[in-house]
Amino acid sequence: MRTHIDASEQPIRVLEDADRLPEHQSQLALVWRRLKRDRLALLGAVIVALLVLVAIFADVLAPYDPTVPFDDGLTLQGMPVPSTLPESSQFILGSDSSGRDLLSRIIFGARVSLTVGVLANGLAVTIGLVIGSIGGYFRGWVGALVMRFTDMMMAFPSLLLAIALVAVLKPSLWVIVLVIGLVYWTWIARVVYGEVLSLREREFVTAAVCAGASAGRVLFRHILPHLIPTAIVWGTLGIATNVMLEASLSYLGIGVQPPTPSWGGMIQQGQYYYRSAPWLILFPGLAIMLTVLSFNLLGDGLRDALDPYQRR
Amino acid sequence: MSRYLLRRLVMMLPVVFGISLITFLLAYLLPADPARMYAGPNASVETVNSIRHQLGLDRPFHEQYLRYVWRAFHGDFGYSYHFKMPVWDAILSRVPYTLELTFAGILVELLVGIPVGSLSALRQYSWLDRLSTLFALLAVSAPPFWLGLLALYFLAFKFPIFPLGGAGSFHHLILPALCAGAGGAAWYARMMRSSTLDVVHTDYVRTARAKGLRERVVVYRHILRNAIMPIVTMTGMDIPWFLGGVVLIETVFAWPGVGKLAVDAIHNVDIPLIMGTVVFAAIVVVVSSVITDLTYAMIDPRIRYQ
């Protein structure tokens, strides 16, 4: 694996690296070795892992059902109760405006946020890889057309575009996934386009073409493997952006709909009580920030670790 | 130059059309009945039907869309069901507020981002550098609407320094502008830091020091002047992206701008107004991207458009 990728890119470096590394060390081990040294990236990775675990085991971890209102979850005036009062200390982070347990909703909210973030990003990375490869590999009018289209889409801010698309649709989890995927792919396509443009001039592509490989085979078997690092980096950074997009749409009331717990939606419902129950804003927002931050840290670290020109 | 301008505008036209077509199509497929909404819940079936005919809502899709485009070109974007006024008037009355917030927010981005970024580059690895890196990471990751609500809670409710929302005075503008600009300021600080670091190690800076210039002169005239170039060009590209955040901030602070109008239109299923704000946003994006290109040419004499 390692010799295959490196041999085509940096023959001189391979020798240097091979001198220092044991022969059996794979590309993966090398990346891991670099990542381990990046403390911020490791911190990001740990938080991401924890978030994923929370999302998967939400049923086990959440103290209560996130959609069930409790009689003692509201004051006599119908206001949310804080966790600081002795009679409502069973709600660790307080209750929300319907008398539901906030902590349970935040835990289940992780599931919604990560589902949207990961699926939408999977869609965006796939579209970006396809469009970017076509644009970069096929010169002439096909490539020009595809990249013009990308530029046009890119000129339009993702959030505004997503709002325009969701505005008239009935929002649901799947609509949000689709919309975010459809507005976010342009960035990935741009990066992939640049890489394919330089990859197609390399000797191994010429060799494959000479050997009679079809365009599809060249793209899939010879070029695509080189794009995997890019896909991994953008696959991580993109989740951060998409979690934020989902939260923003849900905050505007056009994202994931209640009673499904979504962090942005929780802030939207909580904002009418922010003076008397600031915890309804504070904790879901912290959850969004922590998620976005950890994926950003991990993505930045991966970008550095996967950089083939880095000599560590 | 004017030929280039024309070509750019023509090239971006499909964006406006594409976005309007998709939104129009989705609105057409929407189960809600615009004629019923226009007539109100108490209107009889006959009234609703006659309104439907009057509005042309019983025509086939392509006919409706073409008529919409034709009228839009003549400045008629339809009539808002909810606000009971022409869509274009509703939008135009909100534009000054959005412009005000956008300018103030971008000003915050630049006035905070550039000094912080250049200081942390000039004092690389100092506590100031580390602190600003940490704040930048947090500010980029924090949702702007959340920052807005926290600011309202602490700075308008707990310690009533600022008004609880709305617009009208400079006092009203401060919190929304700060929150709208926070993420961007962090971003610019990072950009300015790396841009300054690039310049600090160049030959001409070493030469400037070697010929005995005072450090002030080296920093201001040789380092910062060159480092700021990429930032200025980025600001132009940033404007359309900034508008996305403005929608959120306007909603938080009940700021009566176009973004708030659009969100209200969505909640009221006011289809002509939704369409109007979407098309308006598309036009703003196109115009600002063309203006950005032109500013490049003005700032950097090496760029010539043909």
Reported as a single tens digit per residue, the pLDDT across B164-223 is: 877 778 888 889 999 989 888 998 998 899 889 888 888 988 999 899 888 888 888 888
Q: What is the pLDDT of residues B292-306, one digit of tens each?
A: 777 766 666 665 554
Report how far residue A256's alpha carbon sits from residue B221's, in angstroms, rounded to the nearest whole number. Answer: 52
> What's the pLDDT score for residue B36?
73
pTM flag (> 0.90) = no
Q: What's the CA gap between A273 and A269, in Å, rounded?
A: 8
Distance from CA of B207 to the nearest CA of A (A): 31
pLDDT surpassing 80 at residue A99: no
> What is the model's pLDDT at position A263?
92
- Is pLDDT above 90 for A168? no
Q: What is the pLDDT of residue A47?
A: 93
C-alpha span between B179 and B196 (Å, rounded): 26
Instruction: Give which of A154, A168, A172, A182 to mutate to test B binding, by max B Cβ within 10 Å.
Output: A168
Q: Tell me what pLDDT residue A73 has.
A: 67
**Residue A8 confidence (pLDDT):** 43
Residue B101: per-residue pLDDT: 92
- What is the secondary structure of B244-297 as a DSSP string? HHHHHHHHHTT--SHHHHHHHHHHTT-HHHHHHHHHHHHHHHHHHHHHHHHHHH
What pLDDT shows up at residue A124?
A: 93
Facing A274 at nearest CB: one of B23, B152, B289: B152
pLDDT tens digits along A44-71: 999 999 999 999 998 888 787 887 777 7
For chain A, give the mean pLDDT. 82
Which range has the worst mean pLDDT, A121-135, B113-127, B162-176, B223-237?
B223-237
Instruction: Give the model's pLDDT for residue B302.
Output: 61
In the numeric block, the tokens 């924090």 are attached to: B142
Mean per-residue pLDDT, A39-44: 88
- For residue A312, is pLDDT > 70? no
- Report the pLDDT averaged over residues A89-102: 76
Spell out which residues of chain A touch residue B20, defining contact as CB-CB under 8 Å. none
Distance to chain B for A206, nearest Cα, Å: 35
* Tokens 């359309």, residue located: B240
Asked whether residue A310 carries a pLDDT value surpassing 60, the answer given is no
Confidence category of residue B68, pLDDT binned at 50, 70, 90: confident
Residues 6 or more apart whose CB falls under 8 angstroms from that of A16 comprise A311
Cα of A43 to nearest chain B Cα, Å: 13
Which band of pLDDT confidence, cut at 50, 70 and 90, is reported for residue B23? Answer: confident
Give the pLDDT score at A308. 65
Q: Which two tokens stand for residue A259?
A: 């009673």
- For residue A296, give the nearest of B141, B149, B281 by CB distance: B141
Q: Which of A171-185, B42-56, B80-94 has the lowest mean pLDDT?
A: B42-56
pLDDT at position A17 over 60: no
Question: Is A112 in contact with A262 (CB distance < 8 Å)?
Answer: yes
pLDDT digits (tens, 9 = 90+) for B250-281: 999 999 999 999 888 888 888 888 888 888 88
Do A296 and B26 make contact, defined as CB atoms within 8 angstroms?
no
pLDDT tens string B82-136: 888 898 999 999 999 999 999 999 999 999 999 999 999 888 888 988 898 888 8
User: Which residue did the predictor score with more confidence, A90 or A101?
Assistant: A101
pLDDT of res. A9: 46
In sequence order, which residues have a C-beta less than 8 Å from that of residue B153 and are 6 or more positions away? A274, A275, A278, A281
pLDDT 10s digits, A227-256: 888 888 888 888 999 999 999 999 998 888
Q: What is the ipTM of this complex?
A: 0.83
Give the nearest partner residue to A285 out of B137, B143, B241, using CB atoms. Answer: B143
Cross-chain CB nearest to A152 (options B15, B31, B157)? B15
Q: Which of residues 238-297 of A touch B (CB under 8 A)?
A: 240, 244, 247-248, 251-254, 264, 267, 271, 274-275, 278, 281-282, 284-285, 288-290, 292-293, 296-297
The pLDDT assigned to A24 comes to 56
Q: At residue A81, what is the residue type?
A: V
